[in-house]
Structure 1
């Protein structure tokens, strides 16, 4: 079998081309490459659970805020974990009158 460039192969073509690559392996590889990209001037970010602890609200509530685009967020990795920038969380908390634990935010953003 001739080796083919993985960059030009679409997921639906793997079996037809006779490649021994399963979809999960490729997705893990893509997620690995995505996490290794350079972090240029990226602001400190916290997870959804950490954000809920910082504003002292339930995790589901913070998730709903992210889904409704009240808090800017991004999803990373295969599990599509949510990350929220600390500054965005702080401005949201101040705008809507929620508590914001600055010490906890500083602790989580340095991990």
Structure 2
């Protein structure tokens, strides 16, 4: 019985690291993709080495210009910043008015 417990403990100790290092399918961007995005932003007027005071505003403005150019060109591949837009799904449903006798908590 004692050997069985130690064998299970050794098997568990060997199995835990194998499970914890499982690869995920969530891959990030490659260097080439990041470089291509930077080239697009620089072409849209963003200069990463210039003024750091207005960094977020300048970067966001360049991203907006790139996304507008991609939308105008019909590029909806999903690469780059998300497209903006709207959709309609119908009218809001108003709840029906119920009489006091039909209320859930009537009489309580």
TM-score band by shorter chain is under 0.3
TM-score normalised per structure 2: 0.27
Larger radius of gyration: 2
TM-score using structure 1 length: 0.26
**Which structure shows the bigger proportion of residues in strand conformation?**
1
